[in-house]
Amino acid sequence: MIHGFGHLLRLGHVFPHLSFPGIKPKDLPRILHPPSIFHWNFHLILVLLFHSMLTPAFLVLLGTINTALAAIGPITELHIVNSFIQPDGFNRSGVLAEGVFPGPLITGSKGDNFQINVIDELTNSTMLKSTSIHWHGLFQKTTNWADGFNVPNQAGTFWYHSHLSTQYCDGLRGALVVYDPQDPYASLYDVDDDSTVITLADCPLDIMRAHPSQVSIRRPDATLINGLGRSASGPANAPLAVINVIQGKRYRFRLVAISCDPNFVFSIDGHSFTVIEADGVNHQPIVADSVQIFAGQRYSLILSANQSVSNYWVRANPSTGSTGFAGGINSAILRYQGATVADPTTTSTAKNQLKETSLAPRENPGAPGSPTPNGVDVDLSLVLGFSGGKFTINGVTFVPPTVPVLLQILSGATLATELLPSGSVYTLPLNSTIQLSFNAAAVAAIGGPHPFHLHGHTFDVIRSAGSSTNNYVNPPRRDVVSTGAASDNVTIRFRTDNPGPWFLHCHIDWHLEAGFAIVFAEDASEVALANPVPDGVAAWSQLCPTYNNLTAIQLGGQ
C-alpha cells in the first residue's frame, strides 16, 4: 500500500489543471496534467506530507562512476528538492527526488505495504514549486481517490515520476521495483538487486518551464544511463555509468525508459539476453541482442556474463537528438570483475532486435473478447491529429477542466455529455471488453512514433506497430505501446475491471502538454461505491481549495 492522497488528482483519475483566481492564462499550462498537485506550504499530516524547508540548492557531485542505484523503501521519505546536477558535465538546475538523478530506486516485495512520505522542499521560483508523484504501472484498484493502495497481485518493474505539467523532464523520475518472492523465473538468474536496474533518460540542455511555445523545440543533448552520460558538445571525459559483472554469473537487468521524449535501441556489445518481462508482466522467455524501448516502457533482460574479462560498450541510441556513439555518447560500460578501468574498444554486434509481436504473456495469455476484429463490447477508433500547434484525438485537444473528472463523477455527473473536458471523456461500462485502434497517419511524422500509456490497466496488443495481422491467442501484454508509422493501425484490448476515471496519453511529455490525451470514465455510476473515501480523511476534501488558494509566487515557474 502506498499511503497518501496524491493520486486524487494524478494517476489519471484526472484532476488535471485547476482554476485559480489571479493566475494569468499563460500560467495555466504549467499547473497540471492528470497529476495531483501539492505545494510546499500544504501539509497532509496523516500520510502524505509536504512542507516547506527552505534549504539552499546544493551541488550534487558525480563521485564514483559505479552507478548501482541504492534502494529505499518500502517505508521511507522522499524529499523533492531543487539541486544542481552535472550528469553530462554541464551544470544545470533540476527538480529531484533526494537531490539525485535519477531519483532513488524504490523497492519492496509483492504483498508489501509501501508508505512513502513525499516532502516538497522546492524553493526555486523560476521552476514549478508544486509537485506530484505518479506510480507508473500500479493499478490503484478501489482507491481512485488517494495514493494509498494494495498491490497484492502485482510484481515487476515500474517507475515513478512527476505528472505536473512537464516537471519530470526537470529530473523528477526514478525506478520502482516490486520483487516477487515466488518469481517463476528465479532459476534463470543469479543476481537481481539494486545493481541490475538500468535507467535510460534524456538530458535537456536547459531548465524546462513547461510553456506551450517550447513544446516543439525541446531536444535532448545527451542520453543518460543510470544518470550519467556524455554530450556531443560537452567534456570528452565526462564519467559514464559502469555496470559491474562477474564472469559466469547470470544477471536480471531491469531496463526502464524514464525519458521525456526519445525511444532508445539498447544493446550490449558481445552479449545477447533473454527477455522475460515487459511493463510489469511476465512473458515467455525470448532471446534477442537489442531492444527498442519507448518512454515509459520496461523490460527485464537476463544476461549471462559468459564473455572474456574485459570492458564492453552498453549502447542506447536515441531516436532524436545526438545519435551514434562517437566519443562515448549514448553509452555506458559493462565491466567484468578483473578488467582494467578504461573505456571499451568493442564494436556493436547486435543483429537480432526484439520484435514486440514475439512477446507472449506467461500467465493467462489471450486477448479478451472473441477472436474476431469486432469481437468486443466497445470498439473505439482513435484518430490522432495535429492542428494549430496542438495534438488532437478524434479532433479534440485535451484541455484540462477546472473541476477534476473524479470530483465531477462524485458530484453526480456520469454521462460523457456531462463530463468535462467536452469531447475528451469517454464513458465505459464495467466488466466489458474494450478495443482501441490508433490511427496515427496524421501524426507519425510529427515527433512520432508516439508511445501511449493507459493508467489503471495493462492491455493486450492484438496488432503491433509494423504488423498487419491480429493476434488474439497470445498477444503482448503491457501498459505502454508505440502507435507506430503512418501505415500502422495499432490495436489494443482490455477489460474494464477498475472503476474510475483513467488517463490515456502520449508519454512524450511535450506532446501531453500539447493536449495529446483523453480520459476513460470507467463505470462512472459506481465509482463512489467502488472507491469509498474513508471517514476521518478531512484533508481529502481540502486538496483543491488549498491548491486553488495558492498565489502565483507560491506556484513558481515565473
Active-site choice (507, 518, 520, 544):
507
Active site residue 39: no
Active-site choice (3, 17, 39, 161):
161
Active site residue 516: yes
Residue 495: closest CA among 381, 389, 400, 366:
366
Active-site choice (516, 518, 520, 544):
516
Q: Which fold has domain 378-530?
A: Immunoglobulin-like (2.60.40)
- Residue ranges for the chain with pLDDT beneath 50: 1-65, 207-217
Q: Is residue 436 within 8 Å of residue 45, measured between CB atoms?
A: no
Active site residue 161: yes
Active site residue 271: no
User: In the beta sheet, which residues pair with residue 454?
Assistant: 504
Type of residue at 47: V
pLDDT at 189: 99
Active-site choice (7, 33, 134, 271):
134
Active site residue 79: no
Alpha-carbon span 77 to 91, nearest angstrom: 27
93-102: b or e for each residue (b if 16 or more CB lie within 10 Å)? bbbbbbbbbb
Type of residue at 382: L
HSE of 428 in the Cβ direction (CA atoms, 13 Å)?
30
Q: Which strand ranges, in their side-by-side order, compose the sheet holding 459-463?
A: 390-393, 378-387, 433-439, 491-495, 459-463, 477-478
Chain-centre distance of CA 158, in angstroms? 8
Alpha-carbon span 531 to 402, nearest angstrom: 22
Alpha-carbon span 154 to 477, nearest angstrom: 14
Active-site choice (13, 33, 136, 457):
136
Active-site choice (453, 492, 494, 544):
453
- C-alpha grid cell, residue 390: 496542438
pLDDT in tens, 148-197: 556 778 999 999 999 999 999 999 999 999 999 999 999 999 999 999 99
Active site residue 283: no
Type of residue at 354: L
In the chain, CATH 2.60.40.420 sits at 6-181, 212-358, 378-530
- Name the CATH code of domain 212-358 (choices 3.20.20.100, 3.40.50.150, 1.20.90.10, 2.60.40.420): 2.60.40.420
Q: Is residue 78 within 8 Å of residue 104, measured between CB atoms?
A: yes
Active-site choice (33, 39, 271, 511):
511
- C-alpha grid cell, residue 381: 477508433
Domain 6-181 is of which CATH architecture?
A: Sandwich (2.60)
Residue 243: closest CA among 187, 199, 186, 293:
199
Q: Is residue 189 within 8 Å of residue 250, measured between CB atoms?
A: yes
Alpha-carbon span 35 to 6, nearest angstrom: 8
Type of residue at 325: F
pLDDT at 215: 44
Alpha-carbon span 177 to 188, nearest angstrom: 18
Residue 101: closest CA among 113, 85, 89, 90:
85
Active site residue 17: no
Active site residue 33: no
User: In the beta sheet, which residues pair with residue 298?
Assistant: 256
Active-site choice (106, 260, 506, 544):
506
Q: Is residue 136 within 8 Å of residue 159, measured between CB atoms?
A: yes
DSSP assignment of 188-214 equals G-SB-SGGGEEEEEEEESS-----GGG
Alpha-carbon span 350 to 267, nearest angstrom: 7
Active site residue 20: no
Active-site choice (3, 17, 283, 450):
450
Q: Is residue 136 within 8 Å of residue 509, measured between CB atoms?
A: no
Alpha-carbon span 40 to 27, nearest angstrom: 18
Count CB-CB contacts under 10 A for residue 345: 10
Active-site choice (3, 163, 283, 457):
163
Alpha-carbon span 261 to 220, nearest angstrom: 8
State the burial class of residue 32 (Cβ atoms within 10 Å of its Cβ: 0-12, 13-18, 19+).
buried
Active site residue 457: no
Alpha-carbon span 313 to 348, nearest angstrom: 8
pLDDT at 287: 99
Type of residue at 180: D
Alpha-carbon span 311 to 336, nearest angstrom: 6
202-228: b or e for each residue (b if 16 or more CB lie within 10 Å)? bbbeeebbbebeebeebebbbbbbbbb
Query: Parallel, antiparallel, or unpaired: how do β-strands 459-463 and 491-495 relate?
Result: antiparallel
Cell 534477442, located at residue: 288
Active-site choice (455, 518, 520, 544):
455
Active site residue 450: yes
pLDDT at 456: 94
